[in-house]
Every structure is written in structure tokens, then in C-alpha cells.
């Protein structure tokens, strides 16, 4: 009887231990994938040095996993990414999302402070004269996003600008249709300005 009671008391700790062990194994698997292929474009810690590729350090886990799944299904198209995810599965995507989310993002200096100030207005208030909604309304005042929406803070300015252009041209088809409408109302100058501001957020 005492043994049974002891096992009942011990059960939650055994479950927690098994869960922690499984999570540790998943993160180890993710790190192997990152060091084997992801680091080439996104950096060893998710801090891509090239504006062609996004910084992923601190990115929301579920968002990363969904983007990887969309690349594999063809819902999101990239000649660079499709081969990278071909042999990965849903568990790998989830693990990679958790791994990148666990990396600490670095602070980055804004290249054009005056341009960024224009972008600050757009990010926080939008453009009521052209019907552009404030970026902060969905992505948060610090650009941290949610599990469904990407973290924007600290992203390469050029990468963000290119994604806005892709939304405008309907080349990005896997994400919220609201972004198509917003991007279509942004001028090229506004895209550059808000992207500049976002690059300096922490």
C-alpha cells in the first residue's frame, strides 16, 4: 500500500522528467540540423549576417514551424528553402522553432536614424491618410509578434522591405491576406522607413 502511494506521488515527477528529457532530445536534434545546414544562411545562432536571409534568433516558435511546413508543402515558395526542408518532418519543424526561439537576439544599430523616425510613426500609428494600419496593432508595440505572427524586432531592414514588396506583388501567398492590403497601400519610401525602424527594435 505504501509503495503504491509512493508511486502515485512520484508519477508527476516522472512525467516531468520524461518530458524534459524528450524536449532536450528535440533541441539537440534541432541543433544538429541547424549546424548541418541552417547556419549557412541564418548563422550558427540564428543571427544571419546577410540581409538576403532573415534573422531567426528569438523568432516565435510556432511561427517558424509553420513557415517550414509551408515551404515543404509548397504553400510558400523558395528555391533555397525547399531543398532544406525536403527530408524534415513536423517534429523537426517544431523542434527548430523551439531552438530558434531560445536563441537570444542581438541589438542592431539603425543605419539611417532620420529615416527610421518616419518609420516609427508608420509602425506605431500607420498612415491615416492612405488607410495604412499601424504595424504595432498586430505585431505589438515592440515588434515581438505572437505565436501566429512573426517577431519583426531587429530584422534586417532590407529583408523586411523585400517581404513587404513580395506581399504587394502577391508573391507571398501563405500568410494573412491583410498584409497584401497593407503592403499595397505603402509607398516605397514608407516601406524603407518602417523597415529601417524595425531593424533597430529590440
Residue 40 lies in a domain: yes
pLDDT of 177: 85
Farthest CA pair distance, the chain: 75
Distances (CA, A) of 131 to 26, 115, 122, 182, 193: 44, 21, 11, 8, 17
Last residue of a domain, one of 44, 70, 102: 102
Are 6 and 31 within one domain? yes
Would the pLDDT of 175 be above 90? Answer: no
In a domain, 157, yes or no: yes
- C-alpha distances in Å from residue 42, one per residue of 164, 169, 189: 20, 25, 27
What percent of the chain is predicted at pLDDT more than 90? 84
Output the domain CATH number for residue 156: 1.10.760.10
pLDDT tens digits, residue range 56-102?
Answer: 999 999 999 999 999 999 999 999 999 999 999 999 999 999 999 99
Q: Number of folded domains in the chain?
A: 2
86 with 153, same domain: the answer is: no
Query: For residue 127, what are the β-bridge partners?
Result: 132
Which grid cell sits at 17?
A: 522528467
Q: Which domain holds residue 162?
A: 113-199
Is the pLDDT at 5 greater than 80, yes or no? no
Please name the residue that has the C-alpha cell 508511486: 7
Question: Could you tell me if 167 and 95 lie in one domain?
Answer: no
pLDDT in tens, 115-132: 999 999 999 999 999 999
Q: Are 195 and 127 members of one domain?
A: yes
Residues 97 and 122 in one domain: no
Domain boundary, last residue among 83, 102, 121: 102
Q: Which three cell numbers stand for residue 15?
A: 512525467
Q: Would you give the distance in Å from CA 156 to the centre of its chain?
A: 12
Distance in angstroms between the alpha carbons of the first and the last residue of the chain:
56
Record the cell numbers describing residue 179, joined without a space: 498584409
Residues 24 and 64 in one domain: yes
Read off the pLDDT band of 176 (50, 70, 90): confident
The fraction of the chain above a pLDDT of 70, given in percent, is 88
The sign of the dihedral angle between the CA atoms of 126, 140, 49, 183 is negative
Do 87 and 146 sit in the same domain of this protein?
no
pLDDT at 21 over 50: no
Same domain, 164 and 185: yes
- The residue from 75, 102, 129 where one domain ends is 102
* pLDDT band at 14; cut points 50, 70, 90: very low
Between 13 and 90, the more confident residue is 90
Q: Which three cell numbers stand for residue 78?
A: 523558395
In a domain, 170, yes or no: yes
Q: Mean of the pLDDT values across residues 98-120?
A: 96
Amino acid at each position: 500500500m505504501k509503495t503504491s502511494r509512493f508511486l502515485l506521488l512520484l508519477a508527476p515527477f516522472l512525467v516531468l522528467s520524461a518530458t524534459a528529457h524528450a524536449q532536450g532530445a528535440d533541441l539537440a536534434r534541432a541543433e544538429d540540423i541547424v549546424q548541418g545546414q541552417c547556419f549557412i544562411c541564418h548563422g550558427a545562432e540564428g543571427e544571419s549576417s546577410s540581409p538576403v536571409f532573415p534573422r531567426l534568433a528569438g523568432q516565435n516558435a510556432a511561427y517558424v514551424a509553420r513557415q517550414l511546413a509551408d515551404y515543404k508543402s509548397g504553400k510558400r515558395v523558395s528555391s533555397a528553402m525547399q531543398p532544406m526542408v525536403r527530408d524534415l518532418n513536423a517534429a523537426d519543424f517544431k523542434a527548430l522553432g523551439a531552438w530558434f526561439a531560445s536563441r537570444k537576439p542581438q541589438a542592431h544599430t539603425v543605419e539611417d536614424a532620420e529615416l527610421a523616425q518616419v518609420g516609427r510613426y508608420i509602425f506605431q500609428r500607420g498612415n491615416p491618410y492612405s488607410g495604412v494600419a499601424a504595424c504595432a496593432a498586430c505585431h505589438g508595440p515592440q515588434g515581438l509578434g505572437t505565436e501566429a505572427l512573426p517577431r519583426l524586432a531587429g530584422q534586417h531592414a532590407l529583408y523586411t522591405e523585400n517581404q513587404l514588396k513580395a506581399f504587394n506583388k502577391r508573391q507571398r501567398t501563405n500568410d494573412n491576406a491583410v498584409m497584401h492590403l497593407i503592403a499595397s497601400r505603402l509607398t516605397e519610401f514608407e516601406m524603407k522607413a518602417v523597415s529601417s525602424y524595425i531593424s533597430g527594435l529590440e
